[in-house]
Amino acid sequence: MKVSLRAKLTLLLIAVFLGLAALETGVRLLTRRDADGNLWFFSTHLKPYRVPVQHAEAALHRYLTEPGSVIAYDADLGWVERAAVHGQNAQGFLSTAAEVPRAAPVDKLRIAIFGGSYARGSYAQEPGERGWWRTVEDDLNAAGVPCEVLNFGVGGYGMDQALLRWRRDGQPFHPHLVLFGFNAGNSYENLNLIRMVKDPDSGIPFTKPRFLLEGEKLRLINSPTPSPEQALVIMRDVGAWPLSAQDHYWVPADFAPAWWRASRVLALAEAKAGARARKADPEAFYKINDEPARLALAITRELQREVEETGAAFVVAHLPHSLELDAFEKRGRFPYDDLYTALKSSTAVISPEAQMLALARGKNSAAFYHDGHYVAEMETTVGHAIAAALRERAAVLRKP
């Protein structure tokens, strides 16, 4: 007995429906939901996003009640690492001395470092591990260049916060040489105001200051930053905050329901398509005439100008992310190569990538990174490279 065409189509539709239902069920079973309602398929964040208010409240409670917590609210900078915690000295920065006098030493070179977690060094390690800055200090002293290194790097900082930390905390120590730890990924932080909107898993429940580029001038907004309690109020209704439009990561459409997002399969497809688009053109974010690159250059050049006005030397230490270094090894250029080239055209830059690649060559490169940051062996390699480059630049090592 022949089966009619209509019957065949009906069976096909039933099979398709059952297959899609099974796929939807499987994806739902593998999707986790956090306390704020954010959905994750393994490491993939599905839209619509939810502002992580519950997560922020829990993090804030820890910071307010646990004296040993690493970071604390700061009205000028957004947050700082607590003094005498996680390797910090009593003055709130990294140094081999428990306390450093503010007056510039007359018998040795004082080097100050600014930047984010890559500048801080050894951020993924246990407290007390040696960051690259310790190797720089040791190498220069061993080479007959008496010096001390003061490291003002802070995890999670954008270039904007590094500039502000220089102004408030670094300049009063009168360094002879400033090293700016340049990680191009910090360009993303420059565009952010509410840290947990950009990175829900960061555990940083504070807002941060941000510069807007108006012509060639920098204008600071969200300064002083709202108190932690005020930040929670803002996060409960981000769209009502007058500055929300200045946060690159507050895209209302990403936080809004849509019919296709009711399906986990379609929401996952949307997320994967976005990831593929970004992977297909990793240089798109760093186009030299767009805000991220222009703002990164403007902040770096302003930091250079202010440092040199004090009579100190200014040098950039390039600290690439592991993925960026892999891209450089494969293609001979970084995703941010135009930005990097523009930076080198006006600023002294130390580039340790050759030494970093030599260390990892022929080995499992993942063994030299933890969550993208350098493990101890890579920290040491970077430190040796920076110290060697500084010794070659006799002008920046002039004795005070």
Rg for the chain, CA atoms, rounded: 24
What is residue 125's predicted lDDT score, i.e. its pLDDT?
46
The Cα 275–Cα 255 span in angstroms is 17
What is residue 178's predicted lDDT score, i.e. its pLDDT?
98
Amino acid at 344: K
What is residue 344's predicted lDDT score, i.e. its pLDDT?
96
Alpha helices in 316-370 (DSSP H): 322-331, 337-346, 353-360
What is residue 104's predicted lDDT score, i.e. its pLDDT?
93
Q: What pairs with residue 73 in β-bridges?
A: 79
Please state the pTM of the whole predicted model. 0.93
Amino acid at 131: G
Q: Residue 276 burial (CB < 10 Å; 0-12/13-18/19+)?
A: exposed
Q: Do residues 376 and 122 make contact, with C-beta atoms less than 8 angstroms apart?
A: yes
| Number of Cβ atoms within 10 Å of the Cβ of 385 | 25
What is residue 370's predicted lDDT score, i.e. its pLDDT?
82
Domains of the chain plus CATH, in order, are 5-46 (no CATH), 53-397 (3.40.50.1110)
What is the mean pLDDT for each group of 10 consecutive residues in the chain (400 residues)? 70 78 89 93 94 93 82 96 88 93 94 96 60 95 95 96 98 98 96 95 92 95 96 96 97 96 93 91 94 97 98 97 90 95 96 93 80 89 96 73
The Cα 162–Cα 133 span in angstroms is 16
The Cα 254–Cα 383 span in angstroms is 41
**Closest C-alpha among 254, 167, 159, 153 to residue 213:** 159
Q: Do residues 54 and 185 make contact, with C-beta atoms less than 8 angstroms apart?
A: no
Residue 243 CB contacts under 8 Å (≥ 6 apart), including other chains? 193, 221, 222
DSSP-assigned states of every residue in 69-132: -SEEEETTTEEEEPTTSTT--TTSSB-SSSS--SSPPSSSEEEEEESSHHHH--TTS-TT---H
